[in-house]
Amino acid sequence: MNVASAPPAAAEPPAAASPGPGPGPGPTAATAATATHGLPARLSLTPVERFMLDDDRPSHPMTGIHELVVRGRLDDDLLAGALEAARRRHPLLCRIVDDSGREPVWVPAPADMTVAVDRAPAGTPRTHPLGHWLDVRREIGLRVWVRDEEPDADGTPVCRLSAAVHHSVADALGGITFLLDLFAHLSAALGGVPVPAPPDPERVLHRGQLYEPSGLLPGLPKGRLGVWGHLLIGARRMKRTKTLPLAPGSRGKPVSAKPPPGADAEAAGVPPVDAVSPPRTVSFTEAETHGLRAAAKARGMTLNDLLLRDVFLTVREHNARYDNAGATLDGSPAAVRINVPVNLRDEADLPAALRRSQSRGVRGGGLTVVNKIGMALVTRPTALADDPEALLRSVHEEMSWVRQTERGRRFVEAVLLSYRLLKRPPGGMFDGTCYATAVLSNIGDLSRVIPPELRDERGRLHAPAADPADALTVTEYATGSPGRALTRATVLAASYGGRLQLHLRTDPEEIAPEDAAAFSADLAARVRRSAAG
């Protein structure tokens, strides 16, 4: 099975930098109907989707990577059928972006455009041949590949299944939603559990409802001058204290997330992202994970509060090694600023397993695969790290306030104001400087998201089969994102199978591999100290 999405038919051939495989099955009335899902042919991008599109670049692709180690025989035809069936449940996975007009819009992908699977034997590089960059103007925002591994001691086949999802299409929870659907279809094809009812595609029309009411968001001043004033106050607040970048910078090397046409990236002299900045995973034992949760509970706090505090402390200690503990290059005061993504889904949007209402047991409905997050920028002076307990209390209080006031919507508000009033991406508001030292995204405990029928006794993703010997189990899960330019470190936290894991990516053009390894080791040691109490 071979490479990614096919390019759309066009009057001119697509750019050579975006190759794809040959056409799939010819167009039919059924596939055309599925492509629109009964929705308008042209869907405007939400502000966050447009921000992710504008912030996308080959060296810093706006993609989320999900990597699953699957135990069991994952047949090519089985996977291809389940992949196509799961993809067609979600409108944005059946569309591409048309940016030929004044504003970009989602339009149905050509009926012969598919997402094929690149499969290779053990020993093949784990990265997809086309890299992580997805050009959603010419291909569907999903890429899937499989690398076979050595079988288990008992001869059971093992493979590594990876999916890259463009952030204009989905955030981390959206990507996981797709994977759950994929395994539901795999199980159904194996005679296991039936496929659940699909989500309501019309809810896609409301995926931007938090930030598209008339007059922008509740609480904003009325009138154009008032809105401009609000924007300027926020910009001044951001610039009052400069963001301290992760040190040491300018020690990386140029990279490419997409090989040149007809050439391997390394052969062309420009290494791929993973060759310079490979994903780094720190796995904690079940005992350590339990200790960390117990430490948070004893303080009346969350696991995320502890992780956020520990990221602040690690950045301060790491930067101190390079005489960059609390000031910028020009000597002006600086603070550590952590970008914390915030889920903006309401109750009706959540997967059934996360709903508190009586509809929790019904998997139908809910929001389809989309990106519906905001961001909270949590800023602290480096001196506060001198008292770890005080720092912990302060981030707990702020994150509690963020949840209560939905402050994560302020990021969306800034994005919307920028596009409406400045007519440019929000990055322009920060003068091309670093506005976040690092990102900390906590996906949470995945056992709470996996529906009971697809969850084994250890809380892992599992595709039951009529013959137990044909069942598929995800024994390991990892995730990550190459990260945006100017933000030098991205930390994603997720608990799977009772174990917490931290997945770190650093900016390959700024941070050298040895410095990334040191930061990862420092963060792991700091979190383990927190787990020990």
> pLDDT value at position 480?
86
- pLDDT tens for each residue of 262-319: 444 444 556 666 666 778 999 999 999 999 999 999 999 999 999 999 999 999 999 8
- Name which CATH class applies to 37-209+239-248+274-532: alpha beta
3: left (phi > 0), else alpha (psi -120 to 50), else beta?
Answer: left
Q: How far apart are the first and last CA of the chain?
A: 50
What φ, ψ does residue 242 adopt, rounded to 5°? Answer: -70, 150
Q: 54-65 pLDDT, tens per residue?
A: 888 888 889 999
pLDDT at residue 68 tops 60: yes
Distance CA 86, CA 83 (A): 5
Tell me whether residue 488 is exposed, middle or buried, using C-beta atoms within 10 angstroms of its C-beta: 0 to 12, 13 to 18, 19 or more: buried
Q: What proportion of the chain, given as a percentage, has pLDDT over 90?
A: 51
The pLDDT of residue 510? 87
The pLDDT assigned to 215 comes to: 40
pLDDT of residue 427: 62
Does 203 score more than 70 pLDDT? yes
For all residues of the chain together, what is the average pLDDT? 82
Beta-carbon contacts of 197 under 8 Å, excluding residues fewer than 6 positions away, are 362, 363, 364, 365
- pLDDT (0 to 100) of residue 73: 98
- Alpha-carbon distances, residue 480 vs 106, 213, 399 (angstroms): 25, 33, 23
The answer to whether residue 168 scores a pLDDT higher than 80 is yes
CA distance 98 to 17: 17
C-alpha–C-alpha distance, residues 171 and 461, integer Å: 19
Identify whether 248 is preceded by a cis peptide bond (ω within 30 of 0): yes
Q: Choose between 246 and 417: higher pLDDT.
A: 246
pLDDT in the model for residue 360? 41
Q: What percent of the chain has pLDDT over 70?
A: 76
- Predicted confidence (pLDDT) per residue in 482-509, tens digit: 788 788 899 999 999 999 999 999 988 8
- Cα 12 from Cα 16, distance rounded (Å): 11
pLDDT at site 366: 67
- The tokens for 445 are 């405990």
Q: Which amino acid is at 194?
A: P
Question: Given the DSSP bridges, would you call strands 438-445 and 373-381 parallel, antiparallel or unpaired?
Answer: unpaired
| pLDDT of 428 higher than 90 | no
> What is the DSSP annotation of 399-459?
HHHHHHHTTTHHHHHHHHHIIIII-S-GGGGGTTS---SEEEEEEEEGGGTS-GGGB-TTS
Beta-strand runs (E) in 11-137: 43-44, 63-71, 95-98, 105-108, 117-120
The tens digit of pLDDT for each residue in 71-118 reads 999 999 999 999 999 999 999 999 999 999 989 999 999 999 999 999
Residue 222 pLDDT: 59
The least confident of 27-31, 284-288, 439-443, 454-458 is: 27-31
pLDDT at site 422: 72
The answer to whether residue 177 scores a pLDDT higher than 50 is yes
Residue 219 has what pLDDT? Answer: 55
- In DSSP terms, 445 is beta-bridged to 495
Q: Which among 146, 123, 204 has a CA at the least distance from the CA of 170?
A: 204
Q: Residue 7: what pLDDT?
A: 34
Predicted confidence at residue 6, as pLDDT, reads 36
Give the mean model confidence (pLDDT) for residues 377-404.
90
pTM of the full structure? 0.86
b/e for 112-136, b at 16 or more Cβ within 10 A? ebbbbbbbeeeeeeebbbbbbbbbb
More confident position, 124 or 273: 124
Is the pLDDT at 433 greater than 50? The verdict is yes
Q: Does residue 9 have a pLDDT over 50?
A: no
